[in-house]
Chains A and B, each alone.
Chain A
Amino acid sequence: MRLDLSNLAAIIGMALATYACRGGGYWLFRQIRPTPLIRAVLAFIPGTLFVSYVVPALVAGGVRQMVGAAVTLVIMITTGSLIGAIVGGTGAAWLAYSFL
């Protein structure tokens, strides 16, 4: 159970930086009075955020990740089961890793 001082300082620094993002984004938003335009833009954030997360990761990950993503996508769209899609997609990625 060692707690090194410099490690502790780095962890606290990371925690503060992270909360500055988590809480700070909304705190800033509260200071301004959002116009209808800002609201219209915000409505597109959830989808575009996940697109920006997933697409570059898939491009970097190559064919095996694409196979996993395709299976995940198909299961999710057809069954709507989150857990089925995650397990099925990860299984497919695993198979792709083994054979491709």
Chain B
Amino acid sequence: MTDPVIFTRAGFFQGARESVPLLIGTMPFGLVTGITAHGAGLSILEAVLMSAVVYAGSAQLLALAAWTHPAPIVAATFAAFVVNLRLALMGPVLAPWLDRLRGWRVWLSLFVMADQTWAQSVRTMNAGGNDAAVLLGGGTAMIVVWTIMTAIGHVVGSYIQPPPGHPLFFAALAIFVCMLVNMWRGPRDILPWLIAAVVAIIVSRLLPGGSWHIVSGALCGSLVGGLLEHYRKTPA
């Protein structure tokens, strides 16, 4: 990337436009989150507020599954931290963009960063894109749709409660499968991906119910890949 990083209105709308398929895939997930919030006894105002400020589906579902009255403040906070630890690995990947932005542009872009829109931005950045507003645009579209779907889900929840294993919910996982295709860079990915898969499966058995398997799988696979690549290029 040789061009200077820019942050334009056009980039913002490009990000929003490109996120449309991701939004459609995420809709059932938002719906389920609203239905679950209703089932946990949250008011529609509380459900909408949670989606707008926490904005992290798997953390919300995990916390809501164990919701009590009065609310489990410490447990819910801890659950959110553990499930979202993976997000801490994602920001630094976009450093080539974020390093060149200032103030609210950095911290607001990170606030609306979701797995799917982040992946989209990484792809744009690696393809030579230099408009960092793509991240904010995709994320903003995502948080708006996410919050609206939660509200709809809360209303729907008064009438129906689809079972947890309903195939509609597969849409959320399908997005992640597609992201894998987008992230594939060739044979040098084979070993790191294999290591990530094996470590993630093992850790998901040992420490279920968080994102430890995601964090440890990603770190182990990336360390091996990075070390191999680094020392192949610069022999000691």
Q: Which residues of A are at the interface with B, using a C-beta cutoff of 8 A?
A: 1-4, 6-30, 34, 36-38, 40-61, 64-65, 68-69, 72-73, 76-77, 82-83, 85-86, 89-90, 93-94, 96-97
Question: Do B181 and A26 touch (CB < 8 A)?
Answer: no
Interface flags for B33-58 (1: CB within 8 Å of A; 0: not) read 00000000011111001100111100
Residue of B nearest to A88 (CB): B174
Tell me how far the C-beta of A65 lies from the nearest C-beta in chain B, rounded to whole angstroms.
7
Known contacts A65-B173, A72-B177; A46/B167 CB under 8 A: no
- The verdict on B88 contacting chain A, using a C-beta distance below 8 Å, is yes
20 more CB-based (< 8 A) A-B contacts, given A45-B92, A82-B178: A7-B70, A9-B71, A9-B73, A11-B76, A15-B80, A18-B54, A22-B110, A25-B89, A41-B226, A43-B226, A43-B229, A45-B89, A46-B183, A51-B180, A53-B115, A53-B176, A55-B201, A65-B170, A90-B170, A94-B170
Question: Do B107 and A23 touch (CB < 8 A)?
Answer: yes
- The verdict on B151 contacting chain A, using a C-beta distance below 8 Å, is no
Contact among A21, A48, A96 for B222, CB-based, below 8 A: A48
- The verdict on B152 contacting chain A, using a C-beta distance below 8 Å, is no
Contact among B20, B22, B171, B226 for A42, CB-based, below 8 A: B226
What CA separation (Å) do A6 and B42 show in the bound complex? 11
B interface, over-half SS: helix
Residue of A nearest to B95 (CB): A29
Question: Do A47 and B183 touch (CB < 8 A)?
Answer: yes
Question: Do A17 and B99 touch (CB < 8 A)?
Answer: no
Most chain-B CB neighbours within 10 Å: which of A10, A77, A93? A10
Chain B residues within an 8 Å CB radius of A17: 77-78, 80-81, 84
Known contacts A25-B89, A40-B230, A51-B180; A14/B76 CB under 8 A: yes
Question: Do B229 and A2 touch (CB < 8 A)?
Answer: no
Question: Do B175 and A86 touch (CB < 8 A)?
Answer: yes
- The verdict on B102 contacting chain A, using a C-beta distance below 8 Å, is no
> Of residues 164 to 202 in B, which have CB atoms within 8 Å of A's CB atoms?
165, 167-168, 170-171, 173-181, 183-185, 189, 192-193, 195-197, 199-201
